[in-house]
């Protein structure tokens, strides 16, 4: 398995990580727990060392799942989790954002127990909290690092200015945001800031929540609990209009003997050597397909062809409904 280092931090991880959210969150029915534990351990056998979870996934159950699955393999893996939400511990109800320093420390203690680890490898702020200065957030994580409870600090969906302000207090190891061939807003300011400051970048939804695999079309139906049923970009009309993106990936894939998903991941990997995508998988064959992207070589001519073609395609549909998009800091 190829390895990559997240920025200047010397945090070495597999060139592809594994997003674990959908193993116990936002699904109906929730996948079988033992099957997911087996999948997580199979990922390690295949060389995946970077796993992504969060307290809000489940909530709480995703961290417990990842913790149980990876406990016997602790020395081989890097586990990232996230803070920043107010969750009622009794009901699991989400009550808004909360990145107050005292809350961050409470979340860290609870995550350590659920993950069965002595230190959290990478602790992201899940979303920028408009009510708490980012310097206070970075300072709280800095204290956790000094106490040995956290190893690295990360931000998710943060804008370039926020990243700079946080980094001045506690060096940021990684920024996680949505990034794929059909969502490239981070290219304007966030990626240049990461490059300048020596911060790694971790794209989530690198396959467009499944759309870039080519296996979703206007006739696909989503369960009501599936987030895609509520997103403008996944209406039947938008899915039909956006087929041009899939056609492009399929065309390049035919030339390379690769699937659309593998081309989409290979494109991300080719952007910068400090980019580590975290596609989510719940099936071993999908995991193997994603890992196969590491063997796909996109030459400069291929990348130019993709860039030219994608510049002529206008992707239809917003990423999130307006109220959710406002929660991001980009």
Give me the mean pLDDT over the 263-287 stretch.
97
Active site residue 57: yes
Coil/strand/helix, residue 171? coil
Question: pTM of the predicted model, to two decimals?
Answer: 0.96
DSSP-assigned letter for residue 282: S
Identify the active-site residue in 57, 124, 179, 234: 57
Whole-number Å distance between alpha carbons of 125 and 29: 29
User: Which domains are delineated in the chain?
Assistant: 3-325 (3.20.20.100)
Our measurement of the distance from residue 235's CA atom to the centroid of its chain's CA atoms, rounded to an integer in Å, reads 23
Give me the mean pLDDT over the 287-314 stretch.
95
pLDDT at 330 (0 to 100)? 64
The string of pLDDT tens digits covering residues 217-249 is 899 999 888 889 999 999 999 898 889 999 999
pLDDT at 325 (0 to 100)? 79
Q: What is the largest CA-CA distance in the chain?
A: 55
Please tell me the number of Cα atoms within 13 Å of 187 on its side-chain side.
Answer: 11
User: Could you tell me what percent of the chain has a pLDDT over 70?
Assistant: 99
Q: Is the confidence at residue 296, as pLDDT, over 70? A: yes
Q: Is the confidence at residue 328, as pLDDT, over 80? A: no
pLDDT at 139 (0 to 100)? 98
**Sorting pLDDT into bands at 50, 70 and 90, what band is 206?**
very high
Give me the mean pLDDT over the 146-159 stretch.
98
pLDDT at 224 (0 to 100)? 86
| Length of the chain in terms of residues written | 330
The string of pLDDT tens digits covering residues 87-144 is 998 888 999 999 999 999 999 999 999 999 999 999 999 999 999 999 999 999 999 9
pLDDT at 241 (0 to 100)? 84
pLDDT at 163 (0 to 100)? 98
DSSP per-residue string spanning 26-86: S-SSPPPHHHHHHHHHHHHHTT--EEE--TTTTTTHHHHHHHHHHGGGGGG-EEEEEE-EE
pLDDT at 83 (0 to 100)? 98
The string of pLDDT tens digits covering residues 34-66 is 999 999 999 999 999 999 999 999 999 999 999
Inter-CA distances, 310 with 56, 140, 277, Å: 34, 41, 20
Between β-strands 78-83 and 120-125, what pairing exists: parallel, antiparallel or unpaired? parallel
Q: Is the confidence at residue 327, as pLDDT, over 80? A: no
Q: Rounded mean pLDDT of the chain?
A: 95
């Amino acid at each position: 398995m190829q390895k990559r280092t997240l920025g200047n931090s010397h945090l070495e991880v597999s060139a592809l990580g594994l997003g674990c959210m959908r193993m116990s969150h936002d699904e109906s029915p929730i996948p079988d727990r033992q099957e997911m534990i087996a999948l997580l351990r199979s990922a390690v056998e295949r060389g995946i060392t970077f796993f992504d979870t969060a307290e809000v996934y489940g909530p709480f159950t995703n961290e417990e799942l990842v913790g149980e699955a990876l406990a016997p393999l602790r020395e081989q893996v890097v586990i990232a989790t996230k803070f920043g939400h107010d969750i009622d511990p009794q009901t699991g109800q989400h009550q808004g954002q909360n990145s107050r320093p005292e809350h961050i420390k409470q979340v860290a203690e609870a995550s350590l127990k659920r993950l069965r680890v002595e230190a959290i490898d990478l602790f992201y702020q899940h979303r920028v909290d408009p009510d708490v200065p980012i310097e206070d957030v970075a300072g709280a994580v800095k204290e956790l690092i000094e106490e040995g409870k956290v190893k690295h600090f990360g931000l998710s969906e943060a804008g370039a200015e926020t990243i700079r302000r946080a980094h001045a207090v506690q060096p940021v190891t990684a920024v996680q945001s949505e990034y794929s061939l059909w969502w490239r807003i981070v290219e304007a300011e966030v990626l240049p800031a990461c490059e300048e400051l020596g911060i790694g970048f971790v794209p989530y939804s690198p396959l467009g929540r499944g759309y870039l695999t080519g296996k979703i079309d206007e006739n696909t139906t989503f369960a009501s609990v599936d987030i895609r049923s509520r997103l403008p970009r996944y209406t039947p009309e938008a899915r039909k209009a956006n087929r041009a993106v899939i056609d492009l990936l399929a065309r390049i894939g035919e030339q390379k003997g690769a699937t659309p998903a593998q081309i989409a991941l290979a494109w991300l990997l080719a952007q910068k050597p400090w980019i580590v995508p975290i596609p989510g998988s719940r099936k071993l064959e999908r995991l193997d397909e994603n890992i196969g992207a590491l063997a796909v070589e996109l030459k400069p001519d291929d990348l130019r062809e993709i860039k030219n073609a994608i510049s002529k395609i206008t992707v239809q549909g917003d990423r999130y409904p307006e109220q959710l998009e406002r929660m991001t800091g980009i």
